[in-house]
Structure 1
């Protein structure tokens, strides 16, 4: 007989669940027997995911993770529908690319707000539940937190900050039985990355990376690795095993990145430079108000 997952019968919350890794983790969690609350800004996309899953196993709530009041309202509804969460995955995140000098300050600020403030609001909102259930919080950071890359200043800074936030949270709640982990996925085949690959800025970054750091991994595979980390209540979750080695080399990476970027940046500037992008992908557009699907902010 297969051993049941420790997630069976538990309630899990996944933010940024409309697409990509968030939707993938929601599917995988349901496959493990969990009840899943999908939180995000794209109501139609989340509804499609919920419709794919067994009836009653998941429900979606449209909410902005940076809106503390709306998140509190949503948490009340999640508890009423599924009970207190044992797992919270702070996955919501957006990105933009381009030189800092040419970047839009409001977009730069919004990337940091969603990726860092949104994570803190998520944790603060559901921490009483995790204390009650002695649960587990997973902060989805990125390889970018370990090896910051040029042309991704807001994204790299925010993912490093999110990592640090989770480590502080772990120190505050470990003695009360709550586990906190940080996930370090590399490039996953999501809509955000596919859109990014059509821009000169992200193409330049990706082309300068050595293998396997330049490789794109299937999103369902990455989601599976992250959920395994949740099952194990891991402190660090590596979607690709080689990322563990990158973390060990962290003290030397800033120097290596500068040396590796020298030629790339000179080449880009000699060719006229590269334009800053807008928010990458439909999820980024929804989070910055440039999407045709305008989200409700009332937590319903």
Structure 2
């Protein structure tokens, strides 16, 4: 059995404990959502760390251009695939393993968001959000897990701070991202003792084309305090670096920025606190708006 490139690291604290960290140099990483704003930057950062990358997305033209930028088929493989189709992801996983010889890390990075009230949202958009943000994570992990078992590698899902803090007009997004946490928790228990680790990453707002579209929604912008104060977006590069760091550490839960990690520890009390203040809904028909 081959294993993901690891080296021991000592945890901080009064008692020294040993754990294995994952080295990305020459590791094989499969990345879905590779042509999105975050995915493209993440692929470049993984490349800088020496990883060989299977780039998965729907636009073959954009995938091919990114793969060429990263050094061509020896370093980056362009694989067109739809995360809505399990059979396509199974084919992508098989082609990755055949081309590079292994899969060490899988990043489920595809995502979408719709901003509207539950009553008014287009049902197809709601279902698309759940499918892309949650069910596609299951498909991605399901298709790649046989290969990651062989290397005792790492699975990571790009979730959101919305998994812990739920705003109005984002019921599909918040529900799907919270579901990712539950999925990862269950899978982590199922894989206990296998050597495979599972993590999720939860960024706050950061610049992507999807976020730019959401900011055009005046009611949602008001609910988030005009994206000021605690809701100020972080730099996308910071999110990228924290995802890579989470892989190196085989982290269970990573919140970006780290100062908001308390949201993952006490989401219930925090949600109730925010509902009385910053997240008080600013939507039509609300007597408190």
Higher mean alpha-carbon deviation, 34-43 vs 86-95, is at: 34-43
- By how many angstroms is 1:47 displaced? 2.7
SS in 1 for 2:53: strand
TM-score, normalising length from structure 2?
A: 0.86
Alpha carbons 2:81, 2:92 under 8 Å: kept: yes
Q: Structure 1 residue 230 and structure 2 residue 247: aligned?
A: yes
Question: Where does structure 2 lack aligned partners over 5 or more consecutive residues?
Answer: 1-6, 8-20
- Of Structure 1 and Structure 2, which has the larger fraction of its residues in strand? 2
SS in 2 for 1:66: coil
User: Larger relative CO (CA 8 A, sep 6+): 1 or 2?
Assistant: 1
Alpha carbons 1:149, 1:257 under 8 Å: kept: no
2-structure distance, mates of 1:237, 1:103: 30
Cα deviation code 1:275-296 (max 9, x no counterpart): xxxxxxxxxxxxxxxxxxxxxx
The size of the alignment, in residue pairs, is: 268
2:56 to 18, 25, 39: 39
Q: Structure 1 residue 179 and structure 2 residue 197: aligned?
A: yes
Question: Where does structure 1 lack aligned partners over 5 or more consecutive residues?
Answer: 274-300
The answer for the alignment partner of 2:14 in structure 1 is none
Going from structure 1 to structure 2, the CA distance change for 1:215 and 1:44 (only over 3 Å counts) comes to: farther
- Of Structure 1 and Structure 2, which has the larger fraction of its residues in helix? 1
2-structure distance, mates of 1:262, 1:250: 14
TM-score, normalising length from structure 1?
A: 0.83
Cα deviation code 1:24-44 (max 9, x no counterpart): 211111111110011112333
- By how many angstroms is 1:5 displaced? 7.5
The answer for the alignment partner of 1:249 in structure 2 is 266
1-structure distance, mates of 2:78, 2:255: 27
Alignment of 1:1-300 (within 5 A): 6-55=23-72, 56-207=74-225, 211-212=229-230, 214-260=231-277, 264-265=281-282, 268-269=284-285
CA RMSD between the two structures: 2.2
- By how many angstroms is 1:265 displaced? 2.7
1-structure distance, mates of 2:219, 2:40: 27
Alpha carbons 1:88, 1:126 under 8 Å: kept: yes
